[in-house]
A and B are shown apart, each in its own frame.
Chain A
């Protein structure tokens, strides 16, 4: 607990990013949904950091994680890198509009952004890397997103006090 006082919420969120990245790129045969859940948690955390802790260092973070996700999960650079950077650029363009929204509207946009990210990644991996668009896998992602979305938001707001 003493150690956690030295870390600000942005650092804590970055630690969550590292942990969820590590778990999502190491497959567990007995628990494949653990990989999927942490893969979604990574996206949730990244969107949260961009929405509430925007800073230009996030471009470097997005670049590093995008490359690593692409190499470890797709063996080629493309889908994740493009998606993460596009998210940052879209946020930069729409920031003025997002500030005016109520908290419920932001949460709704947060969820839509998450699903869009997962969908765009699947589409790009199909277009660039020749991995078929898997509806059952996307449906699985959607279900897991529904389950972990509210607890994650609650956890993040607790972290942010």
Chain B
């Protein structure tokens, strides 16, 4: 009886082994096939990864985060004296500008009333803080601590005080994922402030510059021109600051974004009114 039993066990283990290998390979093939389309299984997998896996990985990396924060604070502390001097000089300079700005602001209000103009085209949905970032290897993504429970939806724009950061690509109940402007898979339609040049910008892959992938009528901007969102693709609201033209070549130009992507703490999620 014993040899027969052994043979059965051997066959069973071999069957499980072959079944596992074949099912894993088939499942992988299906996942790769469906990942480009928007199937709910893929979205479910993405949701699990942002709501379950990211907190676990953050817990595991907590000691490194503490060390990194400590080094950051130490560096800031070291530069305090130098920064203090610069700030004192800046206060004197800003006081002069403040008087002028108050005058201009009053004048602006009066002129707006005369023109009956409204310039605020944004609706603030939520101000969220950064949970973690995946922008060192391959893509440029950040995760925020607000999700669809806070009325955040896919394709909403993420901005901060300096300008456009990116757009929402995934949302779970309490988290959302933002693809940064510097990612090569994000395109943004922009124009120059003078409304003369319209173009599409994408990330250059180096994480620093944006490069034009299309320029309307091949009209190239000048070095130093400021570019803002054109609002033509109806994803980003119109007239949000994007960056400054840093390099112009024959068929393309490079833009240096205003946002410092290494120092993002809080992000505002907005839509156009």
A positions within 8 Å CB-CB of B? 18-19, 21-32, 34-36, 39, 56-57, 59-60, 62-63, 66-68, 70-78, 81-82, 85, 89, 125, 128-132, 134, 137
Report how far A81 CA is from B30 CA in the complex, Å: 11
Ordered by A's residue number, 8 sampled pairs between the chains whose C-beta atoms are within 8 Å are A26-B64, A27-B133, A63-B24, A77-B42, A82-B32, A89-B25, A131-B139, A137-B137
Complex contacts, A66 vs chain B, CB 8 Å: 28
B136 on the A face (CB < 8 A): yes
Partner of A59, one of B21, B134, B262: B21
User: B13 to chain A: closest CB distance in Å?
Assistant: 9
Asked if residues B57 and A25 are in contact (CB atoms below 8 Å), the reply is yes
Quick one: which of B28, B31, B137 contacts A39, CB cutoff 8 A? B137
Residue numbers in B under 8 Å from A77 (CB-CB): 31-32, 35, 42, 45
Interface residues of B (CB under 8 A from A): 16-17, 20-21, 24-25, 27-28, 31-32, 35-36, 42, 45-46, 49, 53-54, 56-58, 60-61, 64-65, 68, 71-72, 132-139, 141, 169-170, 177, 179, 184-185, 205-206, 262-263
B136 engages A32 (CB within 8 Å): yes
Which chain A residues border B57 with CB–CB below 8 Å?
A: 21-22, 25-26
Among candidates B28, B56, B60, residue contacting A85 with C-beta atoms closer than 8 Å: B28
**Bound-state Cα–Cα, A30 to B132, Å:** 14
B60 touching A75, Cβ below 8 Å? no
Residue contact A82 to B28, C-beta cutoff 8 Å: yes
| Top 10 A-B pairs, shortest CB-CB distance | A77-B35, A22-B60, A22-B57, A59-B24, A132-B205, A35-B136, A27-B136, A27-B133, A56-B17, A71-B49
Q: How far is the CB of B203 from chain A (nearest CB, A)?
A: 9
Q: Which residue of B lies closest to A32 (CB)?
A: B136
Return the contact of A31 from the options B17, B35, B68, B170 (Cβ within 8 A): B68
Query: How many Å lie between the Cα of A99 and that of B36 in the bound state?
Result: 39
The majority secondary structure among interface residues of chain A is helix
A21 vs B49: C-alpha distance when bound (angstroms): 13
Chain A residues within an 8 Å CB radius of B141: 72, 75
* CA–CA, A19 and B147, complex, Å: 27
Bound complex: CA of A71 vs CA of B21, how far in Å? Answer: 22
Taking a contact as CB atoms under 8 Å apart, the answer to whether A130 and B185 are in contact is yes
Contact A67 B45 (CB under 8 A): yes
Taken together as a complex, chains A and B put the C-alpha atoms of A82 and B32 apart, in Å, by: 8
- Give chain A residues whose Cβ lies under 8 Å from the Cβ of B132: 26-27
Given contacts A68-B49, A78-B32, A28 and B184 within 8 Å (CB-CB): no
Q: For residue B53, which residues in chain A have a CB less than 8 angstroms away from its CB?
A: 68, 72
Contacts of A19 in B (CB 8 A): 60
Q: Chain A residue with minimal CB distance to B53?
A: A68
Asked if B72 contacts A30 (CB within 8 A), the reply is: yes
- In the docked arrangement, what's the CA distance between A53 and B27, Å? 24
Using CB atoms, name the residue of chain A closest to B135: A27
In the bound complex, CA of A24 to CA of B135 (Å): 10
Q: Measured between alpha carbons, how far is A78 from B49 in the docked complex, in Å?
A: 15
